[in-house]
Chains A and B, each alone.
Chain A
Amino acid sequence: MNLRTLITRAMRGFREERRLYLSAIFSLAIAFLCLASAILALRNFETLSSRWSEAGKLSLYLDEGLSVEATAELELLLSGLREIRRIEHISNEEARLEFLAGAVDGAALRELPAELFPSSLELYLEPNLAAADIEALATRLGTLSGVASLERYQSFFERLDRMIGAGRWGTIGLSLLVALLVFGVVGSTIRLSLARRSREIEVMKLVGAQPSFIRGPFIVEGVFQGAAAALIAIVTLAVFYFGFRSEIDLGVRLFFGGETLFFGPGAIVGFLIGGALMGGLGSTLSLRRYLA
């Protein structure tokens, strides 16, 4: 059967059963939207985690009232360590301004005195340092005079890693659930469509149609359902994401720093192809079952 005839017959089937197919597409689109949202959230967490871990940052909070000379001496000492790539001094006032920039209600907090915010030395480490090296460095730095406390962000990283790990498993589970849902919805649609078009199928068999001729349009319809549902899901997610991006990024910047990302063109094409394949596979399996 040539491709043109195949697509023409599939489109005819879609026109004849458009209500059935539209309801199936919207059911699938909701499932794909959940999956796409989960994948997008996981991808952003992974990007943030990777960005942070690559940055390899430590914060040394200085003693209150530490003199400028003592701070400079400490900075000189630290710049001689091979593990440290760059040092940035944050004064009390700079710390206050940074806090106010990230705060939701900056106006109400503007009166806070700068002394409430400790000055610090932000240490940017060399990339690809081993965890043991960072641990040893942190132990040494914690004993230096003039250092009030040290923030390694370790517990945060551990929590983030655990969260990402759970997110990965959750996304895999959700993918399986969505696949089952796609097979179920496409299967039910095909079954109903086969029942409604039983006369057509009977006639085709009587005039000598091969099974592939009968199945072909149904498989194309399944592929179309999957691809259309995936497209609707991506477009809906994009509308929500870009519509609320400033609010989302504000929250992310406050807690994690950095900005979120949407899917790239490759990922979008991959998602559409994945949807189409799921639809096609679902219809193929259903036809095997119901078109005996």
Chain B
Amino acid sequence: MAISMNRERRTRTRRPFAFFRADAQRGARDHERPILEFEDVYKFFGEEQAALRGLNLKIERGEFVFLTGPSGAGKSTMLRLITRELGVDSGRILFAGKDISRLTDRSIPYLRRNLGIVFQDFRIIPHWSVAENVAISLEVMDYSPRLIRSRVSEVLERVGLEGRGGERAGRLSGGEQQRVAIARAIVTEPALILADEPTGNLDPALAVDILTLFEEIHETGATVLFATHDHGMIERGNHRILSLEKGRVYDVRKGLSSWSASGVHTVREQGLRVVAG
């Protein structure tokens, strides 16, 4: 009995979506719901300074979405709301159909285990080895050392760092460090990958490599939300584009591969559909 209970506890810890209440039943239609929904989300910094003003959007499972907009438009705030580094002031954020804006502090780690997060500044630990940097995502989930070694090896091969697990991460080039960060983000096979300006610190050629890597990951079925203000990146990919300005989102549909001008004004000039605003 004790063994069975322990096994059950361990399984519960590792299970995706374990951040929901223990007694909550997953509905049969949960898999059909969008992976991410913002419903009339407001976020203020100070009394008058609104970062997000009634934001509404949906991202379906398996989508690759660019999130763009000028500096201060609210891109990072939006991502930090998803990771629950920040809380909403009003509205709801649904992740796989569940409201994450009301999660308790104890449940937030379980949410984050279902997200893969990649930053512009990589946020890797320079004095750790490449493998240690990647393994940390699995260690927090209490996987066995043997499984961790195996998964880390697989994912390093996938991001083009095969056989380099023992090297110190701080000695790698910028592009390679970003690959380590991507490996750390995808090693748990998260439900949603959030990339916050992941090519911002890289030269154009490396940036294209990294975008290509994200596209390859997306082709395996992952949902990717890629925040960037680099129009060169956006033009290269034939993906859905969400444009943020002054805390509101404008939706530019898939297929706009020749979108070359900057900012939301172009979207308006071209008469594209405004989803919220």
Q: Which residues of A contact B110 (CB under 8 A)?
A: 208
In the complex, whether A67 has a CB less than 8 A from a CB of chain B is no
**For window 1-44 of chain A, which residues contact chain B by CB distance below 8 Å?**
1-2, 4-5, 9, 16
Given A199-B125, A202-B123: A208 and B139 interface contact (C-beta under 8 Å)? no
Of A202, A203, A204, chain B has the most CB atoms within 10 Å of the CB of: A203
In the complex, whether A200 has a CB less than 8 A from a CB of chain B is yes
Structural contact, A203 and B145, CB atoms closer than 8 A: no
Structural contact, A203 and B136, CB atoms closer than 8 A: yes
Q: Which residues of A contact B111 (CB under 8 A)?
A: 208
The residue on B at minimum CB distance from A6 is B139
**For window 136-152 of chain B, which residues contact chain A by CB distance below 8 Å?**
136-137, 139-142, 144-145
* Contact mask for chain A residues 192-218; partner B; CB cutoff 8 A; 1 contact, 0 none: 000000011011111111100100000
Structural contact, B112 and A207, CB atoms closer than 8 A: yes
* Contact mask for chain A residues 121-148; partner B; CB cutoff 8 A; 1 contact, 0 none: 0000000000000000000000000000
In the complex, whether B56 has a CB less than 8 A from a CB of chain A is no
Of A5, A199, A206, chain B has the most CB atoms within 10 Å of the CB of: A206
Q: Which residues of B contact A16 (CB under 8 A)?
A: 127
Of B112, B140, B145, chain A has the most CB atoms within 10 Å of the CB of: B140
Of B113, B117, B125, B139, chain A has the most CB atoms within 10 Å of the CB of: B139
Q: Which residues of B contact A209 (CB under 8 A)?
A: 109, 136, 140
In the complex, whether B184 has a CB less than 8 A from a CB of chain A is yes
For chain A, which range describes its interface: under 10, 10 to 19, 20 to 34, or 35 or more residues?
10 to 19
Q: Which residues of B contact A9 (CB under 8 A)?
A: 139
Residue in A4, A200, A213 whose CB lies within 8 Å of B145: A4
Q: Which residues of B contact A210 (CB under 8 A)?
A: 106, 109, 140
* Contact mask for chain B residues 223-267; partner A; CB cutoff 8 A; 1 contact, 0 none: 000000000000000000000000000000000000000000000
Structural contact, B125 and A200, CB atoms closer than 8 A: yes
Q: B117 to nearest A CB, angstroms?
A: 6
In the complex, whether B83 has a CB less than 8 A from a CB of chain A is yes
Structural contact, B145 and A206, CB atoms closer than 8 A: no
Structural contact, B123 and A208, CB atoms closer than 8 A: no
Given A4-B145, A5-B145: A207 and B140 interface contact (C-beta under 8 Å)? yes
Could you tell me the distance between the alpha carbons of A4 and B142 in the complex, rounded to whole angstroms? 11
Q: Which residues of A contact B136 (CB under 8 A)?
A: 203-204, 207, 209
Given A1-B142, A207-B137, A208-B141: A199 and B123 interface contact (C-beta under 8 Å)? yes
Q: A198 to nearest B CB, angstroms?
A: 11
Structural contact, B113 and A5, CB atoms closer than 8 A: no
Structural contact, A206 and B112, CB atoms closer than 8 A: yes
Structural contact, A207 and B123, CB atoms closer than 8 A: no
The residue on A at minimum CB distance from B115 is A208
Could you tell me the distance between the alpha carbons of A109 and B139 in the complex, rounded to whole angstroms? 77
Q: B219 to nearest A CB, angstroms?
A: 24
Residue in A2, A204, A206, A207 whose CB lies within 8 Å of B142: A2
Residue in A199, A200, A202, A213 whose CB lies within 8 Å of B140: A213
The residue on A at minimum CB distance from B184 is A207
Q: Which residues of B contact A4 (CB under 8 A)?
A: 145
The residue on A at minimum CB distance from B185 is A207
The residue on A at minimum CB distance from B109 is A208
Q: Which residues of B contact A208 (CB under 8 A)?
A: 109-113, 137, 140-141
The residue on A at minimum CB distance from B141 is A208
Q: Which residues of A contact B123 (CB under 8 A)?
A: 199, 202-203, 206
Could you tell me the distance between the alpha carbons of A207 and B184 in the complex, rounded to whole angstroms? 9
Could you tell me the distance between the alpha carbons of A251 and B145 in the complex, rounded to whole angstroms? 59
* Contact mask for chain B residues 9-53; partner A; CB cutoff 8 A; 1 contact, 0 none: 000000000000000000000000000000000000000000000
Q: Which residues of B contact A200 (CB under 8 A)?
A: 125
Could you tell me the distance between the alpha carbons of A9 and B106 in the complex, rounded to whole angstroms? 22
Q: A215 to nearest B CB, angstroms?
A: 13
Q: B250 to nearest A CB, angstroms?
A: 29
A contacts, CB < 8 Å to B: 1-2, 4-5, 9, 16, 199-200, 202-210, 213
B contacts, CB < 8 Å to A: 83, 106, 109-113, 117, 123-125, 127, 136-137, 139-142, 144-145, 184, 188
Instruction: Enumerate 5 A-B pairs (CB-CB under 8 Å) in ascending A order.
Output: A5-B142, A205-B112, A207-B117, A207-B188, A208-B111
Given A207-B117, A208-B109, A208-B141; 9 other pairs, CB 8 A cutoff: A4-B145, A206-B117, A207-B113, A207-B140, A208-B111, A208-B113, A209-B140, A210-B106, A210-B109
Q: Nearest 10 pairs between A and B by C-beta?
A: A208-B113, A208-B112, A209-B140, A208-B109, A207-B137, A210-B109, A208-B140, A200-B125, A213-B140, A206-B117
